[in-house]
Amino acid sequence: MPRAPLRRQSNSRSPWPVTSLADIAALVRARRAGRSPYILGVTGAVAAGKSTLAAGLAEAIAAWPEAPTGEVAATDGFLFDNRALEARGILNRKGYPESYDTAALRAALAAIRRGPADFPGYSHALYDIDPALTRRLDPPAVLIVEGLGLHEGAAALGLDALIYLDADEADLERWYAERFVELWRAAEYDPASFYARFRHMSEAETRDFAGVVWRQINLPNLRENIVRGRDVADLVVRKGADHGIVDVAERGR
């Protein structure tokens, strides 16, 4: 069945311009209609700000009059670990669909609708799954699942709704380089960090290297896979160069 078209919520003719996380949370609240647990996905390109949006939404949701319980979980925890990725010869394709244990993600989402469920964790510093970060979650009123691997859409994965975080490719590349450099700086005092191996580089060299990684790995993944989520998302949130919300489009229910 064809999906309903997206409708813009932020132009000057709209009776309800959407310009903040609180506004987006209000749209989510209307869609939720009291269902619990309500599972909301947040996806978009690497460095688009998915975890920041998810955390902000969780705070906004906690301020609803009914004060629902909320949790945020990341799809990074459902990546195959580095050993498994190396065995498959796809370590350099981490973040691509084949690098995720999608069956385990679907199982966890189904399980939390029935009771407590385990959600594994990923360490960006270690660049690998970290068993110590696994969390056992009780079913919350709202569970926000953020990350890659959600491009198939809500129905295919067992979500109730999906948000796609959109931005210009040039901005995404800049944000990725900024994040890479931040992790590189932090590794100066953390020899166990994956990014410690780049400490022999200057900051300019590190930024250039991040650009190469973006263009060779993350940009192709965005164009071939991630952006497909935009076509099936229930809400598309458009960001400007300063990370501000420019526009939100909502697909009819």
The two tokens of residue 223 are: 């164009």
Positive or negative: CA dihedral 198, 174, 224, 240? positive
For residue 228, is pLDDT > 50? yes
- The stretch 146-158 carries a mean pLDDT of 96
pLDDT band at 3 (very low <50, low <70, confident <90, very high): low
- The stretch 156-179 carries a mean pLDDT of 97
The two tokens of residue 20 are: 């903040």
Q: Which residues contact 20 (CB under 8 A, 6 or more apart)?
A: 245
When comparing pLDDT for 187 and 15, which is higher?
A: 187
- The stretch 126-150 carries a mean pLDDT of 97
The structure's pTM equals 0.91
Reported as a single tens digit per residue, the pLDDT across 97-132 is 999 999 999 999 999 999 999 999 999 999 999 999
What pLDDT score does 16 carry?
45
- The stretch 201-227 carries a mean pLDDT of 97
Question: 169: helix, coil or strand?
Answer: helix
For residue 251, is pLDDT > 90? no
Reported as a single tens digit per residue, the pLDDT across 44-55 is 999 999 999 999
pLDDT band at 11 (very low <50, low <70, confident <90, very high): very low
> Of 64-73, 129-138, 230-239, where does mean pLDDT reach its minimum?
64-73
Q: Can you tell me which residue has the tokens 């993350």?
A: 218
Q: How far, in Å, CA of 82 to CA of 103, rounded?
A: 18
Reported as a single tens digit per residue, the pLDDT across 16-44 is 455 688 889 999 999 999 999 999 999 99
- Nearest partner of 140 among 22, 235, 39, 32, judged by Cα: 39
H helices of 33-96, in order, are 50-62, 82-88
Average pLDDT over all residues of the chain = 92
What pLDDT score does 101 carry?
98
Q: What percent of the chain is predicted at pLDDT more than 70?
A: 92
